[in-house]
Structure 1
C-alpha cells in the first residue's frame, strides 16, 4: 500500500465532501435494507393474520404504519440513490482534477531528460489509464469497504436486539468470513496477476499507438502484417490473463454470497428456537434473514474492487516512479546571491546522462538589471546551457544560484486552448487590459481583435491556427507577462522577418525595464540590445 499513500493523502484532503458522499451511499443502502426488512415483516404479518382469520381466530393488523414505512423507504432509496450518484460523480471529477494537478506538478518537478525517458505513447497511458485507475479509488474501493463494514455492524446490532447475543455471535463469525472472502482473499489471489496484467496492458497500449504512428515505416519495411500479428498475440495473452483475474473474482463473489445466504439460513434456524420459546414473533423471525440477504448488494461491490487493487497499485507505482525520476535539483535560494547579482554559476558542468560534458568548469556572473547576450553556432550548447541556467537540466558538478526566472525555450510550446489561457500561464492574475497591451507590443493585437472570440479565440493544437512567427511572438508575450526578475530567452525571434524583429527588439528595452535578461542566439544580429556578449564558439 506504500505506493498508494501519496494519492490517498491527496484524496483525503476533501474530508467533508468524502463524508457527505459516504453518508449518501450509506443512506441509500440503509433504505434498501430497511425496505427489504419492512416488506418481509409486513408480508409475514399479513400471512399470519390471514391464516388466523381463516381458522376462525380473531386477529388484527395495522396496515398503515408498515405500509407507510415501505412507501417511505422505497421513495427515500430512490431519492438517496439519485443524490448519491450526482454528488459522488461530482466528487470523482474533483478528485480527478486534484490528481491531475498533482501529477502535472510532479512532472514539472522533473528535468527534461527525466521526462524524455518515456515515449509519447507511454505518457499518454500515464495521463489516461493510470490516472483513471486512481480517480475512482474512493468511489470503488474506500467508500464501499467502509460502508460494508458499517452496514454489517448495524445488522449484527439488530440481531442482538431482536434475537439474542448468541445469534449475533454466530452471525458475526459467518459475516466476517464473508467480508474477508470479498476483500482480503480476493486481493491475495489476484494482486500479482492484476499487476502483471496492468503492466501488460500498458505495454500493449503503447505498442498499438507506436504501430499507428510508425505505420508508414512498417509498410515501407514490409513488416506491417508481422507486427500486427504480434500485437494480436499480445492482445490474446492479455485477454487470457484478464479472464483468469475475472474468474478468481467471480469465485470469490460467489463465495461471499454463499456465506451471506448461509448467515440468513443460520439466523432463520436459530430464530426458530427463539420463536418456539415465545421470545420473538413470526414477522420478527423473518425480518433478520431478509435484512441479511440485503447485505448481498453491499458485498457485491467489493470483489471486483479488490480484484483491481493490484492493477491500481501498479498504476500508482508507475506514476510515482516517473514523477520521481530525475527530480530537478533545488536551485540556490535568492538569499545565497551577492547583493546586486541576479545569477551566479560557479564551476558548473553541463551534460546529459551518458554523454560527454558540453561545458566543464563553467563560471558566469550576471548582475541585476544586466543584459547578457550569448551567441554560438548550432550545436555549440546554447540551449543546453539555457536549460541548465533555468534549472531544467541537473548539474552534476558546481553550484548555481539565481533569482526566479521566466524562460522562453528554443522550441515554441503552445497549448490546444484559448489565446487567453495560453497567456495567463505567464501571469495568472493578468487583466484583459494587460493581455491586450502585451499583444500590442508583440504586434498581435490587430490579428485577434478581428476574431469573433477575441481573447477567447481557440489557437488549435500547438498553435496550429497561427503562423510560425505568430506562435513565436505569442510564446514570447507569455514569458514577458511573467513578474519574474530574471528572463532567459533562447532564440526569441525565430520565424520573424527582419523588420518585425527590429521593432520588437526595440520594445524589449521598455518591457524588460528593471529586469535581468539573458538572451541566446546564433549571432549578434539576432540579439536585442545587450550590455555584453558571451561567445560559445571560442
Structure 2
C-alpha cells in the first residue's frame, strides 16, 4: 500500500474540496436514510391510530410535522445528490489535472533509458488507464469508506438513544463485521487477482494497438487470422479472470447485505421486547430497523471499489517505477564545457537496446557559432546520433552541450492552430514574429489567404497540410526558438531543390551567431555549413 502514498499525498493537497465533497455525500446518505426511517415511523403511527379509531378508542396524530419531514428529506436528498455529483466530479477533474502534471514532471526527471524501454502503446496505458485508476481513488474508495464508517457510528448512536446500549452494541458489532466483509475481506480475496488482471489488461491493450498498427505487415505475412485468434484467446482469459473476481465480489456483497438484514431483524426483535415493557412506542420500534436497511445503499458501493484496489495499487507501482527520479538521468557523464565550445562528445558509444553499437569511440567538438553538417546514407545512424546530441537516446561516454532545440526527422505537429504550433517554439513571440518566420519558410502567402490566418486549424498531426508544408511549419517552430544550439535532422524533407535553396539562404541571417548541427543524406539537403562530416556505415 505504500505505493499509493505519493498519489494520496497529491490528492490530499486539496483538503477543503475533499471535505466539502465528503459533507455533500454524507448529507445525501443521511437524507436517504432519514427519509426511509421517518416514512416507516409515519406509516406505523398512522396505522396504529387507524386501528385505535376503528376500535372506538380516542386517538390523534400530527400529520404536519412528519409529513413536512418526509417532503424535506425527499427534496434534500435530490438536491444534495445533484450538488454532490457536480461538485465531486469537478473535484475529480482537478485531481486528474494534478496527477497528470505531477506525472509529467516526474517523467521529465526520470532516466532517459527507462523512458525508452516502453512502447507507445504502454505509455498510452500509463497515461489513460493507470491515471484513471488513481484520479477516482478519493471518490470511489476513500470517501465512501469513511462515510460508511461514520454513518454506521451514527446509526449505532441512534440505537443507543432510541433503544438501549446493549442493543446498540450488538447492532454495531454486526455492522462492523459487515463493513469488514465489504472492504478488507474483498481486498484480501481479490488483490492478487486484480493485480494480475491489471497487468493482463495492459498487455492485451498493447497487443491490440500493435495489431492495428502492424495490420499491413500481418496481412502481407498472411498471419492476420492467427494473430487475431491469439488476441481472442488472450481476451477470453482476461474475461474469465474478471468473471472470477466478480463472483468473489458478489459473494461478499451478498454477505454484507445479509448481515445488514440480520441487524435489522435483531433490532426489530430487541425493540419488540422493549415495546412489550413500554420502553418504546410502536412507531419508534420500526424506525431503527428501517434506518438499518437504508445503510445497505452505503455498503453497496464498497465491495466493487475494494475489488479494484489491487489493480489501483498495481497501477501506482507501474507509475512509480516508470517515474523514478532517483535513477541516474543519463548513462553519459557530463564534462565541463569550454566557453568557446557548443557541443563536446568524448569517446561516445551509441546503441539501441538489443542491437550492436552504431558508433564506438566517437569524438566530436563543435565550436560556438560553427555550422556543422553531417552526411550519411539511410541507416548510417544520423538520426541516432542526433538523438544522442539532444539527449533523447542513452549513450556511454562523455557529452556536454549548450541549451538546444531539435528538429527531429519525423515531422510532429499537434492538432491545434498554426499559431499554437508555432508558439511552442517561442511562447512570447508576437504576431509580427510569426508572420516573419512564415515568410522565411515561404508559408506567409499560403496562410494569409486562409480565413483564419494564424488561427487556421491544422488538423490531426497537421493532416490539412501537404508533407512539405508540414515540414516547413515544424522548421519555423524550431527557428523561432532562441536556443544557442540548433540541431536539424533532414530539415528540408519534402521540398524541391529551388525552394530548399531559397529557404536555406534566408536561414543564414536568422541563424547568425548560433551553433547549427544539421544532418542529411547528401550535401544538397543541408543548409549552409562551415565543415561537413561523412558517416560511413
Per the normalisation by structure 2, the TM-score is 0.89
Secondary structure of the 1:396 match is strand
Structure 1 position 535, deviation (Å): 4.5
Residues 368 and 515 of structure 1 are in contact (CA less than 8 Å); yes or no, is this contact kept in structure 2?
yes
2:106, 2:271 → 1: CA distance?
A: 58
Aligned to 2:257: 257
Match of 1:51 in 2: 51
**Are 1:182 and 1:299, in contact at CA under 8 Å, matched by a contact in 2?**
yes
1:133-173 superposed Cα distances (whole Å, 9 cap, x missing partner): 33322222222112212222222222233333333222221
Asked whether the equivalents of residues 113 and 352 of structure 1 are also in contact (C-alpha less than 8 Å), the reply is no
Q: Quick check: 1:341–1:366 contact (8 Å CA) kept in 2?
A: yes
2:414 is aligned with 1:418: no
For the residue of structure 2 that corresponds to 1:183, the secondary structure is: helix
Map 1:198-217 → 2, pairs under 5 A: 198-217=198-217
How far the C-alpha of 1:181 sits from its partner, in A, is: 0.5
1:325-376 per-position Cα deviation (integer Å, ceiling 9, x unaligned):
9974298899x54445443434433333333433344444444444343344
Shift of 1:105: 4.8
C-alpha change, 1:2 and 1:453, in structure 2 (3 Å) is farther
Per-residue deviation, 1:72: 1.1
Confirm or deny that 1:242 pairs with 2:235.
no
Does residue 330 of structure 2 align to residue 329 of structure 1? yes
Give the match for residue 396 of structure 1: 396
Give, in whole Å, the separation in 2 of the partners of 1:136 and 1:507.
53
Contact 2:417 2:457 in 1 (8 A): yes
1:74-223 alignment, distance < 5 Å = 74-105=74-105, 114-115=114-115, 117-223=117-223
Judged with a 3 Å threshold, the aligned counterparts in structure 2 of structure 1 residues 128 and 268 are, in CA distance, closer, same or farther, namely same
Separation in 2 of the partners of 1:277 and 1:337?
A: 94
C-alpha displacement of 1:513: 4.5
* Distance in structure 1 (CA, Å) of the matches to 2:294 and 2:2: 34
Residue of structure 2 equivalent to 1:41: 41
In structure 1, what is the equivalent of residue 296 of structure 2?
A: 296
Give 5+ residue unaligned stretches, structure 2.
Answer: none
**Residue number in structure 1 paired with 2:494:** 495
Q: Assess, with a 3 A threshold, how the Cα gap between structure 1 residues 533 and 216 changes in structure 2: closer, same or farther.
A: closer
1:15 aligns with: 15
Task: Rate the CA distance shift 1:414–1:51 in 2: closer, same or farther, 3 A.
Answer: same
Residue 347 and residue 203 in structure 1: after superposition, are their counterparts in 2 closer, same or farther (change >3 A)? closer
User: What do the CA deviations read for 1:26-69 (whole angstroms, capped 9, x no partner)?
Assistant: 22112111211221222222233333333444333322222111
- Is contact 2:112-2:330 (8 Å) kept? no
| 2:283 corresponds to 1:283 | yes
Question: What secondary structure, in the 3-state scheme, does the structure 1 residue paired with 2:177 have?
Answer: helix
CA RMSD of aligned residues (A): 3.1
Cα distance change on mapping 1:112 and 1:440 into 2, 3 Å: farther
> Displacement of 1:266 after TM fit?
2.2
Tell me whether 433-442 or 257-266 shows the greater mean CA deviation: 433-442
- Aligned residue for 2:270? 270
Q: 2: distance between equivalents of 1:383 and 1:215?
A: 26
Matched with 1:457 is 456
Deviations 1:197-245 (A, max 9, x none): 2333333333344444444554555544444443333333322222111
Q: 1:191 to 1:396 in 2, by over 3 A?
A: same
CA distance in 2, matches of 1:303, 1:453: 53
Aligned equivalents of 1:110 and 1:374: distance in 2? Answer: 30
**What displacement does 1:440 show?**
2.5
Separation in 1, partners of 2:4, 2:37: 38
CA distance in 2, matches of 1:530, 1:163: 93
Q: Which shifted more, 477-486 or 374-383?
A: 374-383
Distance 1:117 1:82, change over 3 A: same
Following superposition, the deviation at residue 290 of structure 1 comes to 1.5
Q: Distance in 1 between matches of 2:319 and 2:510?
A: 40
> C-alpha distance in 1, partners of 2:220/2:331?
47
CA distance in 1 between counterparts of 2:221 and 2:528 reads 52
Q: How big is the shift at 1:532?
A: 4.4
Distance 2:276 2:430 in 1: 81
Alpha-carbon deviations, 1:456-487, whole Å to 9, x = none? 33323332222222111111122223333332
Secondary structure of 1:357's counterpart equals coil
Q: CA deviation at 1:414?
A: 1.8
Contact 1:331/1:402, CA 8 A, preserved across alignment:
no
Contact 1:407 1:487 in 2 (8 A): yes
Partner of 1:469: 468
SS in 2 for 1:280: coil
| 8 Å contact kept, 1:408–1:475 | yes
Cα deviation, residue 185, structure 1? 0.6
In 2, the alpha carbon distance for the partners of 1:243 and 1:510 equals 67
Distance 2:456 2:150 in 1: 52
8 A contact 1:133–1:312 mirrored in 2: yes
| Distance in 2 (alpha carbons) for counterparts of 1:510 and 1:68 | 82
Larger deviation, residues 369-378 vs 280-289? 369-378
2:471 is equivalent to residue 442 of structure 1: no
More off after superposition, 454-463 vs 524-533: 524-533
CA-to-aligned-CA distance 1:373-426 (integer Å, 9 cap, x gap): 33444444332222122111223332x333322111122122233323322332
What SS class does the counterpart of residue 153 from structure 2 fall into?
helix
Describe the shift of the 1:278–1:401 C-alpha distance in structure 2 as closer, same or farther (beyond 3 A). Answer: farther
SS of residue paired to 1:484? coil
Deviates more, 1:246-255 or 1:137-146: 137-146
Moved more, 487-496 or 467-476: 487-496
Q: Which runs of 5+ in 1 are unaligned?
A: none
